[in-house]
């Protein structure tokens, strides 16, 4: 896989993750809502940073849209609690972290690699934060 394609996949995953965080933030109360909203903004800023490296915009995946539709239907039928929202955010983040690992296995320019490593570290911190909420 090319570096450009790998970065595009990371960016797409970040946007998917942002969408999940926003959707789930609408289903919970404060203070969890504030945390999820902040993390969503962080994902957007990470995606924008990577788009500057890649020179192209990315879109959310169809998979993210399908997952959102499925979550919306499930929520309407079964109801939702905060633990389920946190779990959905954790699953989304795991998909994003997998894309980071894939990209970091490639031969990347130094500044791009440094940006990915820094973002990956922040994702690890966010994972711990989400884990403490669920």
What sign has the CA pseudo-torsion 17, 19, 20, 24?
Answer: positive
The per-residue pLDDT for range 46-61, each reduced to its tens digit, is: 999 999 887 755 555 5
pLDDT score at 89: 95
- How many domains does the structure of the chain reveal? 1
Which residues form the domain of 44?
A: 3-133
CATH code of the domain containing 29: 1.20.1260.10
Helices 3-25 and 32-54 pack at an angle, to 10 degrees, of 160
Residue with tokens 């320019």: 109
pTM for the predicted model, two decimal places = 0.83
Closest among 90, 119, 92, 93 to 104, alpha carbons compared: 119
Give the Å distances, CA to CA, from 55 to 33, 35, 48, 51, 76: 32, 30, 10, 6, 40
pLDDT score at 69: 58
């Amino acid at each position: 896989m090319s570096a450009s394609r790998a970065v595009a996949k990371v960016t797409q995953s970040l946007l998917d993750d942002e969408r999940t965080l926003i959707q789930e933030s609408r289903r919970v109360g404060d203070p969890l809502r504030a945390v999820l909203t902040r993390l969503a903004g962080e994902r957007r800023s990470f995606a924008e940073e990577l788009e500057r490296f890649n020179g192209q915009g990315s879109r959310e995946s169809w998979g993210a849209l399908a997952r959102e539709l499925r979550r919306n239907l499930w929520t309407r039928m079964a109801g939702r609690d905060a633990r389920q929202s946190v779990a959905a955010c954790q699953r989304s983040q795991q998909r994003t972290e997998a894309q980071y690992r894939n990209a970091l296995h490639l031969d990347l320019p130094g500044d791009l690699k440094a940006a990915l490593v820094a973002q990956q570290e922040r994702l690890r911190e966010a994972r711990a934060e989400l884990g403490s909420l669920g």
